[in-house]
C-alpha cells in the first residue's frame, strides 16, 4: 500500500509519517498553529494537536484496519463484502471477499481516495454475505 506524500490527492503541505519499519501510516499537516493527522484512507485521526500527539495518533491507529473486511454500498443492491487490495492517494481498489476460496468468482472495484462514504466497516445488521 503506497502512501507517499506529493502523490495525487495529497496536498503539498502534508508530511508522510512512517513507523519505525518504514511503512507509511498517514500524513501530518498544519492546522493553524497546531497539527492534524490523516490515515492512509484519508480519514482524519486527530486534529488541533501538537506534532508528537499527531505522530502518536497515527501510530496508534496503525494499519491493521486495512486487513479487515469492508462493505461496499451499491445502488439498489445489498451491500457487498469486500477486501482492500490497493490504497494510494490516487485510488482505493477493493475486491469481493473470496473467503479463502481461490476458485470463487471475484470482482474488483476502483474507488476514489479519500475513503468514499459508500465503503464502510461492516455493521451488525449487514446481511450474512455467505447466504445468497
SS (H, E, C) 23-70: CEEEEEEEECCEEEEEECCCCEEEEEECHHHHHHHHHHHCCHHHHCCE
Rounded-to-integer distance, Cα 106 and Cα 113, Å = 22
Best CA proximity match to 31, nearest among 63, 7, 57: 57
pTM comes to 0.85
pLDDT tens sequence across 54-106: 999 999 999 999 999 999 999 999 999 999 999 999 999 999 998 878 888 89
Best CA proximity match to 55, nearest among 85, 25, 94: 25
Task: Please report the pLDDT score of residue 60 as a whole number.
Answer: 97
Rounded-to-integer distance, Cα 31 and Cα 40, Å = 18
Rounded-to-integer distance, Cα 132 and Cα 64, Å = 29
Amino acid at each position: 500500500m503506497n502512501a507517499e506524500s506529493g502523490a495525487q490527492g495529497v496536498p503539498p503541505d502534508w508530511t508522510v509519517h512512517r513507523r519505525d519499519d518504514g511503512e507509511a501510516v498517514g500524513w501530518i499537516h498544519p492546522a493553524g498553529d497546531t497539527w492534524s493527522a490523516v490515515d492512509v484512507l484519508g480519514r482524519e485521526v486527530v486534529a488541533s494537536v501538537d506534532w508528537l500527539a499527531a505522530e502518536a495518533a497515527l501510530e496508534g491507529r496503525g494499519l491493521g484496519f486495512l486487513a479487515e473486511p469492508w462493505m461496499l454500498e451499491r445502488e439498489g443492491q445489498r451491500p457487498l463484502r469486500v477486501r482492500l487490495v490497493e490504497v494510494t492517494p490516487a485510488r482505493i481498489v477493493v475486491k469481493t471477499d473470496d473467503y479463502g476460496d481461490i476458485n470463487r468468482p471475484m470482482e474488483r472495484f476502483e474507488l476514489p481516495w479519500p475513503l468514499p462514504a459508500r465503503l464502510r466497516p461492516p455493521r451488525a445488521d449487514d446481511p450474512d454475505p455467505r447466504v445468497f
